[in-house]
């Protein structure tokens, strides 16, 4: 499908996942004039979306467009789709793909931001491997994408990345709206690493806030976190300019600065003394950094990249350090040049 074709004819887009980000993105592509189907795992939620035009689990106060249709059968949802948008948590992506049959000609779009545990694969790599999807059919959407703000149609910008420029342009054409500005990029590696690792840095920022630390501390964590993301990205072949853009700095700032960020909020609770188990049990939202910190630590070790913030966050999540001990460990590291 070419950009011209998608611009002339409403695209058939299926969103696989009715969580906060999946629902918000369904609004984006609905606003762009497409024919949108939302897959909801539970039939009762699909009924709520179809008849009450709301998602009571995530956005009970927002009215969904009547044109948005929801189904609970995954194969029915994907039948005839031009684009299949995967909006499930990163660590369940492989298991879902093993059960789903994605239409052969559909472009597959990843909204997940994570690194798979065990394999160390990025989400586009998981899609290619588990879904048997050629890389030129895969798109990654990433950037400063706080779901609540996008669902409220506040202005936002994002990156649509694919190794095949025409594929990125095709999806850009069907998701670009007056409130959601989409830019294309061919650096899938950098875009995915930025999106996955910023969640871990946001956990560290949240812990600093939870401990009562101020702007100097949080700014330092954000900046040094960006340095860690860039170091890993360069070793893995990313374009360094990606990390100064929406998929790098933009996403990092939004996730670390906003109380709407699940990862920052999770970190704040850790800093205030709650355990990972307690926080996880009290919310239906997934803080991707809690899972990905271990896989990113392993990926960095495999490529001999030093990532002290990520490593220390992983230690806190594993129960090996307290947040206060993490801050002490980071501050007591030996002095170095800023760039080394």
Catalytically active residues are 198
- Rounded to whole angstroms, the Cα distance separating 169 from 183 reads 9
62 within 8 A of 39, measured Cβ to Cβ: no
Q: Which one-letter DSSP state was computed for residue 107? A: E
Closest listed residue to residue 148, CA positions, set 292, 68, 254, 35? 254
- Rounded to whole angstroms, the Cα distance separating 46 from 40 reads 6
Give the pairing of strands 12-16 and 83-86: parallel
Per-position DSSP letters for 315-333, written without gaps between them: HHHTTSS-HHHHHHHHHTS
Distances (CA, A) of 152 to 34, 82, 112: 19, 26, 21
- The encoded tokens of residue 89 equal 């948590």
Give the pairing of strands 138-142 and 156-161: antiparallel
Give the pairing of strands 138-142 and 83-86: unpaired
């Amino acid at each position: 499908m070419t950009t011209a074709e998608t611009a002339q004819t409403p695209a058939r887009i299926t969103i696989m996942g009715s969580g906060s980000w999946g629902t918000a993105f369904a609004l984006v592509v609905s606003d762009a004039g497409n024919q949108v189907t939302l897959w909801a795992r539970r039939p009762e939620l699909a009924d709520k979306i179809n008849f009450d035009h709301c998602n009571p689990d995530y956005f009970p106060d927002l009215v969904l467009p009547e044109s948005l249709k929801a189904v609970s059968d995954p194969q029915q949802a994907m039948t005839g789709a031009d684009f299949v948008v995967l909006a499930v948590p990163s660590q369940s992506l492989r298991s879902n793909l093993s059960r789903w049959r994605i239409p052969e000609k559909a472009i597959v779009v990843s909204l997940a931001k994570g690194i798979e545990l065990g394999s160390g694969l990025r989400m586009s790599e998981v899609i290619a491997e588990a879904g048997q999807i050629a890389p030129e059919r895969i798109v990654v959407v990433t950037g400063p994408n706080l779901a609540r703000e996008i669902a409220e149609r506040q202005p936002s910008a994002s990156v649509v990345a694919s190794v095949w420029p025409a594929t990125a342009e095709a999806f850009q054409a069907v998701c670009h709206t007056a409130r959601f500005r989409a830019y294309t990029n061919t650096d899938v590696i950098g875009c995915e690493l930025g999106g996955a690792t910023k969640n871990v840095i946001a956990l560290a920022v949240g812990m600093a806030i939870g401990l009562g630390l101020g702007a100097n501390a949080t700014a330092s964590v954000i900046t040094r976190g960006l340095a860690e993301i860039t170091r890993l990205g360069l070793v893995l072949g990313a374009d360094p300019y990606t990390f100064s853009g929406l998929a790098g700095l933009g996403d990092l700032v939004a996730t670390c600065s906003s109380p709407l960020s699940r990862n920052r909020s999770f970190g704040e609770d850790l800093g205030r003394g709650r355990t990972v188990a307690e926080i996880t049990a009290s919310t239906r939202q997934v803080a991707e950094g809690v899972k990905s910190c271990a896989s990113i630590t392993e990926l960095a070790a495999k490529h001999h990249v030093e990532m002290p913030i990520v490593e220390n966050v992983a230690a806190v999540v594993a129960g090996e350090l307290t947040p206060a001990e993490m801050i002490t460990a980071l501050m007591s590291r030996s002095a170095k040049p800023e760039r080394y």
